[in-house]
Structure 1
């Protein structure tokens, strides 16, 4: 048995469950502005756990190097949280900001 098999699943089920909960809430009728940040929050939690846990306890959660895993999870998690929260912003504000950037830029 290799080291990864001995460590078991590690925190992987927690992260998978949280992500599935966020996506399932959207499929069951909740607003994407709720479900996306839930899924993203669990991915951010996964990034934090990946940084904290030693390599031998990460289990199947350790795919690549610790830095690569943490950066990947942080990027996707932050994008999901941002994407969900941006849905709460009124469209006129976004159009106004983009128009201001075009005028100034």
Structure 2
């Protein structure tokens, strides 16, 4: 999953877009094949920047926005919805929107979920 796609996603359980958080656990870099660019709002960019701040060996947002959005590939992780408390696993770069996982309201979502 390329980070730019995060900007067009919404939760299938509650239809929120601004309450999604990307939580990557495995990421690799690629060289984008084209000069394509997509405008992404500042709130989404800030959310993505926070999601990747502990990931090493990737293109950073502050260095080059286009390379950050199109040159990093999330292989594994999850997308968590703060609105309804579900997360969608990411495996092999594909987000599983069919089988969301509900997080119990009493437990806090951590990077280990």
Q: Which structure: greater helix fraction?
A: 1
TM interval, short-chain normalised: under 0.3
TM-score w.r.t. the length of structure 2 is: 0.24
TM-score w.r.t. the length of structure 1 is: 0.25
Q: Which structure: greater strand fraction?
A: 2
Max radius of gyration: which structure? 1
